[in-house]
Amino acid sequence: MSEYSRATDSFRCDECSEEMAVPLFCDHCGTNYPERRGMGPFAVLGLEPHFDIDDDVFDQREMALAARLHPDRWQSRGERTHKQAQLAWSSVNEALAKTKDPFARAETLLSDADDQDDKASVPQGFLIEQLELQEELEEAVSSERRKALNKTIRRELKELKRQLLGHFEIIEASQSAGSAAGNAGAAAMSAAWTVVHMSRYWRNAQRALRGGAAQGN
């Protein structure tokens, strides 16, 4: 997976010709490139768009970029440059938010490849299961039960992530074979969308569980 962790092109600053940490802002001379704001999140981070990327890759990338780009490093370089550094860094944060979490990453990749199909349906049985879970969450459940529920949610999300890995293997293989519209690829994409949708239900349940705990103060 590591061969995918760095994008091939790196950007050089038009002003000072130094290699930039991100394409949006030169961390040597402070030149800003607002026209590149629309770049995809993988490009902002300098990563190849790809599903199977380890959490550590994002962590390392974030830490390395922070060391060069974080606005605190630019606090004494004038208000304007500081503001631009803040914007550049907030773009890095946004890019991370769209790529680091596997389900967000899947959604980003799927939306890029196929912008129409966000309508994949989830199985009926799954919906009923979720409705029951929601009812249970609304009742005041004991802390033991909450812990157990949390464990279940974590296990289910792990399983969904495993499924996504399989789907993307097929999607990416069919893409590189130049047959994105091929049957296997299309079926895998639809299945991946379903997984993304299912993950949302679990995430909501997780938030409801945590939100309840956070309100305890």
Partner 1 sequence: MQIQLKVKGQSEDVVVGIDLGTTNSLVARVIDGKPTVVEDRHGRAITPSVISIDEEGHAVVGDEAKQRALLNPTGTLTSIKRFMGRGLDDIEDVAHLPYKVVKADLGDQAAILVHGKKYLPQELSAMILTEAKKRAERAQNLRIRRAVITVPAYFDDAQRQATRDAGRIAGIDVLRIINEPTAAALAYGLDSAKRGTVLVYDLGGGTFDVSLLKLTDGVFKVIATTGNTRLGGDDFDNAISDVLMSDLTEPQRAAIEGDSKALSAIKTASEQAKIALSSDESTTVELDFDDIDVALQRTITREDYEVAIGPLLDKTMTAVEFVLEEADLDPEDVTEVVCVGGSTRTPAVRERLAKEFGKQPHTELDPDKVVALGAALQAQMLAGDGTGDAVLLDVTPLSLGIETYGGGVTKLIWRNSPVPIRATEGFTTQVDDQTAVAIHVLQGEREMAADLRSLGKFTLRGIPPMSAGMPRVLVEFFIDANGILKVSAKEMTSGVKASIDVTPTYGLTDEQVEDMILASIDHAEEDIEAHMLADKKTEAESMLRYSRKAMTEQGHIVPEAIRAGVEAAMAALEEVLQGTDKEAIEAASEILNENTAPIASAMMNEVLRVTVHGRTIGEVLGGQGPRTKASDINLSADS
Contacts to partner 1 by CB under 8 A: 59-60, 62-63, 66-67, 70-77, 86-87, 89-91, 93-94, 96-97, 143, 150, 154, 207, 210-211, 213-217
Minimum distance of partner 1 from residue 38's CB (angstroms)? 13
- Judged by beta carbon, residue 160 or residue 189, the one nearer partner 1 is 160
- Judged by beta carbon, residue 52 or residue 72, the one nearer partner 1 is 72
Minimum distance of partner 1 from residue 188's CB (angstroms)? 27
Rg of the chain (C-alpha set): 21
Cα–Cα distances (Å) from 10 to 17, 30, 43, 44, 71, in that order, read 12, 17, 10, 11, 21
- Judged by beta carbon, residue 39 or residue 173, the one nearer partner 1 is 39
Burial 181-206 (b: 16+ CB within 10 A, else e): eeeebbebbbbbbbbbbbbebbeebb
- Judged by beta carbon, residue 50 or residue 70, the one nearer partner 1 is 70
Minimum distance of partner 1 from residue 147's CB (angstroms)? 8
Minimum distance of partner 1 from residue 203's CB (angstroms)? 10
Distance CA 128, CA 135 (A): 11
The DSSP-derived string for 3-21 is: GGSS-S---B-TTT-PBPS
Minimum distance of partner 1 from residue 113's CB (angstroms)? 24
Minimum distance of partner 1 from residue 173's CB (angstroms)? 30
- Judged by beta carbon, residue 59 or residue 159, the one nearer partner 1 is 59
Which residues fall within 8 angstroms of residue 148, CB to CB, at 6 or more apart?
Answer: none
- Judged by beta carbon, residue 80 or residue 210, the one nearer partner 1 is 210
Helical ranges in the chain per DSSP H: 41-45, 55-69, 79-99, 102-113, 124-138, 143-176, 183-214
